[in-house]
Amino acid sequence: RTVYVNGEYLPEDQATISIFDRGFLMADGVYEVVSVLDGKLLDFEGHMVRLKRSLGELAMDNPLSDDEYLRAFRALVEKNAITDGLVYLQVTRGNPGDRDFAYPPAGTGPTVVMFTQSKPGLADAPAAKTGWKVISIEDARWARRDIKTVQLLYPSMAKMEAKARGVDDAWMVEDGLVTEGTSNNAYIVKNGTIVTRALSNDILHGITRAAVLRFAAEAQMQVEERSFTIAEAQDADEAFITSASAFVMPVVEIDGAAVGTGQVGPVATRLREIYLEESRKAAV
């Protein structure tokens, strides 16, 4: 693979980052994942907007313009001959040359890393026909989950717990209410109404969530932005998740209980189709 490090395109085994990089020592960095279908980037603008917001919340410099990110993403897609896959971007506060809790002085340039992941058939995941099974787990992440930081240890632990229990993912719960999946936003459908937690510092503001809610409104579907419990989700007609890499993925089981018929439902199926069709059309 050819990867990008601080303005250079290098073979992956020649790309290096300092052990003093604050991304490595302090998880002091933010990231984005953008999907690629037919060689084009989905929701690119939305990911740029969130990247700038995450950087701003952490008072971190943005080293590149949107146009420069776009050119670099496209260059990596081309150099790595990616038809379907992902582009990963991480920006850290850089390498001050030593370890200190205080932010480094101005002029310590950020570190920028980008790489691609080839995922042939990304939009044709067989699971979209059968749906995911999930477990629920206490949400023990930090309190600023709206910032897309690289502090991913807890979601990673939750994913491993889900795998150990033979399912696909975990929905995290705080004060009895579902926050989100380990790397996706969570939804239920009851009597035709789509329900998903409202935006706040408690969840990541999904770019796919924004697009899917827009398409749902355009298709005259009812949407309620409010929190829900696991019991309400188990009693719903359908459940699903959204993310840049899974698009719209049905959820058919939660903590061993079938959701609705236990089969993939019509609302999730339709939203997946609309999302893929509309975002492919707008892809850059």
Active site residues: 148
Query: Tell me, what DSSP letter sits at residue 165?
Result: T
Residue closest to 116 by CA, chosen among 237, 4, 265, 240 = 4
Q: Return the number of the residue (206 or 260) whose C-beta is nearest ligand PLP.
A: 206
Helix (H) or strand (E) holding 91: strand 85-92
Q: Which of 185, 196, 227, 234 binds ligand PLP (CB under 6 A)?
A: 185
Q: Return the number of the residue (10 or 33) whose C-beta is nearest ligand PLP.
A: 33
Using the rule CB under 6 A, is 42 a contact of ligand PLP?
no
CB of 7 to ligand PLP, least distance (A): 26
Q: Return the number of the residue (22 or 209) whose C-beta is nearest ligand PLP.
A: 209
Using the rule CB under 6 A, is 86 a contact of ligand PLP?
no
Q: Which residues pair with 171 in a beta bridge?
A: 136, 181
Tokens of residue 127, six digits: 């699971």
Cβ neighbours of residue 142 closer than 8 Å, sequence gap 6 or more: 151
Residue closest to 35 by CA, chosen among 105, 118, 97, 101 = 118
CB of 113 to ligand PLP, least distance (A): 17
Q: Which of 95, 111, 242, 279 binds ligand PLP (CB under 6 A)?
A: 242
Spacing of C-alpha 77 from chain mean position: 19
Using the rule CB under 6 A, is 111 a contact of ligand PLP?
no
The residue whose two tokens read 């020649």 is: 14
Q: Which of 169, 180, 202, 238 binds ligand PLP (CB under 6 A)?
A: 180
Tokens of residue 219, six digits: 């298709």
What is the C-alpha separation between 135 and 166, in angstroms, rounded? 9
Q: Which stretch binds ligand PLP (CB under 6 A): 8-16, 68-76, 95-103, 179-187?
A: 179-187
Distances (CA, A) of 6 to 72, 95, 218: 11, 12, 41
**CB distance 45 to 35 below 8 Å:** no
Size of the chain, expressed as the number of residues it contains:
284
Amino acid occupying residue 131: G
Strands 40-41 and 85-92, how do they pair? Answer: unpaired
CB of 50 to ligand PLP, least distance (A): 7
Using the rule CB under 6 A, is 244 a contact of ligand PLP?
yes
Cβ neighbours of residue 115 closer than 8 Å, sequence gap 6 or more: 1, 3, 4, 12, 76, 87, 88
Q: Which stretch binds ligand PLP (CB under 6 A): 52-60, 108-116, 131-139, 239-247?
A: 239-247
Using the rule CB under 6 A, is 139 a contact of ligand PLP?
no
Using the rule CB under 6 A, is 184 a contact of ligand PLP?
yes
- Per CB under 6 A, which of residues 196..225 are in contact with ligand PLP? 204, 206-209
Q: Which stretch binds ligand PLP (CB under 6 A): 19-27, 117-125, 217-225, 236-244?
A: 236-244
What is the C-alpha separation between 86 and 269, in angstroms, rounded? 22
Using the rule CB under 6 A, is 95 a contact of ligand PLP?
no
CB of 8 to ligand PLP, least distance (A): 26
Binding site for ligand PLP (CB under 6 A): 33, 180, 183-185, 204, 206-209, 242-244
